[in-house]
């Protein structure tokens, strides 16, 4: 009986050992199958990613980016028995900016439009404009490398309304500007370098500039086109153009900055002494977000054009005109809407 029990125990032990070995082999096989399946899945996913990338390259994304902002600034001042003096005044200025940029494969097309118009009324004085601008720029580019493109640039500048010479104290002041008098058109071919997404440097050795003064009475004053030029209504210039544009919508919290500097040299001027002159156009604008619909902005504009003649000293030297550095500064606070 004792031998029988020992035999049964030995047999049971051998059976358990055999089944345990069988389970271990099966588990090892399944683990290997799982590992092989993961390798195959990774290879398949890699193939899928590669094919997706190839399809994306064959079908480049067409993309438009656009935006608009409109600002309405209002200023008013009233004085009554104010010992320090002052003049009652009211002003209203509207600013608008819109851009539409297109990208397809290696091509880019950037468009920007700046519009502004403002009026000012001092007590006892005539209504006059304090801001008036039409500025449209379009640039078509063909990518040559990651940061360099071949580009063609177009820019048009003018104003909406007539402007008067307020140095003349007569009631019948002469009109010195209106729509298309003057107007400036620039066309150029060059290269566009973008070291960062915020900075663009455009260089053109072949740039044309056309100055238009369609109003004969304004043209006769020779403010924008020299009197030595044959055609007082249009002047053609050819030279080199360089522009720098920097834009950061959040240079600080709730503060945006856009600045542009444009330099033009007419190296084909018939007057050799003028071939070294450089036209300068530098604009700076800060936008401050004060609330959802409330904002403020500061705008400065510096210009120099050797062909634009301005009266030096209306009091001591009336009628004596020459090139001057022009500067304008505007501050506005009011309603602002982006869409």
Q: Give CA–CA dist 181/177, Å, rounded.
A: 5
Confidence category of residue 18, pLDDT binned at 50, 70, 90:
low
Q: Which residue has the higher pLDDT, 71 or 165?
A: 71
Confidence category of residue 200, pLDDT binned at 50, 70, 90:
very high
Half-sphere exposure of 238 (CA within 13 A, CB side): 4
The pLDDT score that the predictor gives to residue 25 is 66
Confidence category of residue 59, pLDDT binned at 50, 70, 90:
low
Short-list 193, 211, 210, CA closest to 202: 193
The pLDDT score that the predictor gives to residue 39 is 84
- Lowest mean pLDDT of 61-65, 276-280, 334-338, name the range: 61-65
Q: Give CA–CA dist 109/306, Å, rounded.
A: 32
- Does the pLDDT at position 15 exceed 70? no
Burial of 332: CB neighbours in 10 Å, binned 0-12, 13-18, 19+: buried
- Does the pLDDT at position 281 exceed 60? yes
The pLDDT score that the predictor gives to residue 246 is 96
The pLDDT score that the predictor gives to residue 27 is 73
pLDDT tens figures, 19-45: 555 556 667 777 777 788 888 888 888
* Residue 141 structure tokens: 């580019």
The pLDDT score that the predictor gives to residue 75 is 78
- Does the pLDDT at position 278 exceed 90? yes
- Does the pLDDT at position 297 exceed 80? yes
Peptide bond before residue 132 is cis, with ω within 30 degrees of 0: no
- Does the pLDDT at position 84 exceed 80? no
Confidence category of residue 145, pLDDT binned at 50, 70, 90:
very high
Q: How far apart are the first and last CA of the chain?
A: 99
Short-list 198, 215, 207, 229, CA closest to 306: 229
**Top-ranked range on mean pLDDT: pick from 58-72, 162-176, 292-306:** 292-306
The pLDDT score that the predictor gives to residue 22 is 57
- Does the pLDDT at position 85 exceed 70? no
pLDDT tens figures, 216-273: 999 999 999 988 888 999 999 999 999 999 999 889 999 999 999 999 999 998 888 8
Q: Give CA–CA dist 217/339, Å, rounded.
A: 41
Q: What is the mean pLDDT of the chain?
A: 86
The pLDDT score that the predictor gives to residue 81 is 52
Q: Cβ distance 70 to 337 under 8 Å?
A: yes
- Does the pLDDT at position 287 exceed 60? yes
The pLDDT score that the predictor gives to residue 236 is 95
The pLDDT score that the predictor gives to residue 159 is 96
Mean pLDDT of 195-216: 96
Q: What pTM does this model have?
A: 0.78
Q: Give CA–CA dist 195/148, Å, rounded.
A: 8
């Amino acid at each position: 009986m004792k031998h029988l029990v020992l035999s049964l125990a030995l047999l049971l032990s051998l059976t358990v050992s055999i089944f345990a070995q069988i389970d271990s082999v099966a588990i090892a096989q399944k683990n290997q199958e799982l590992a092989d399946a993961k390798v195959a899945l990774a290879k398949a996913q890699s193939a899928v990613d590669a094919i997706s990338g190839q399809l994306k390259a064959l079908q480049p994304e067409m993309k438009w980016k656009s935006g608009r902002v409109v600002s309405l600034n209002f200023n008013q001042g009233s004085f009554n028995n104010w010992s320090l003096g002052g003049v009652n005044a009211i002003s209203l200025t509207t600013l608008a900016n819109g851009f539409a940029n297109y990208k397809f494969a290696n091509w880019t097309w950037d468009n920007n439009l700046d519009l502004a118009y403002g009026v000012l009324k001092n007590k006892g004085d005539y209504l006059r404009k304090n801001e008036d601008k039409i500025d449209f720029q379009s640039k078509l580019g063909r990518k040559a490398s990651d940061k360099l493109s071949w580009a063609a640039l177009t820019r048009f500048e003018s104003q909406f309304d007539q402007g008067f010479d307020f140095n003349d104290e007569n009631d019948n002041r002469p009109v010195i500007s209106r729509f298309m008098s003057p107007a400036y058109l620039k066309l150029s071919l060059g290269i566009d370098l973008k070291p960062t997404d915020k900075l663009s440097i455009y260089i053109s050795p072949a740039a044309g500039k056309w100055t238009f003064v369609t109003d004969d009475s304004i043209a006769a004053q020779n403010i924008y086109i020299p009197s030595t030029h044959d055609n007082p209504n249009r002047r053609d210039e050819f030279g080199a153009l360089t522009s720098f544009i920097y834009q950061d919508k959040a240079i600080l919290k709730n503060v945006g900055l856009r600045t542009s500097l444009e330099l033009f040299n007419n190296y084909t001027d018939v007057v050799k002494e003028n071939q070294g002159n450089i036209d300068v156009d530098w604009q700076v604008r800060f936008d401050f977000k004060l609330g959802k619909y409330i904002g403020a902005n500061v705008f400065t504009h510096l210009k120099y054009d050797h062909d634009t003649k301005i009266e030096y000293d209306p009091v001591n030297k009336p009628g004596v005109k020459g090139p001057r550095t022009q500067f304008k500064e505007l501050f506005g606070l009011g309603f602002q809407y982006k869409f």
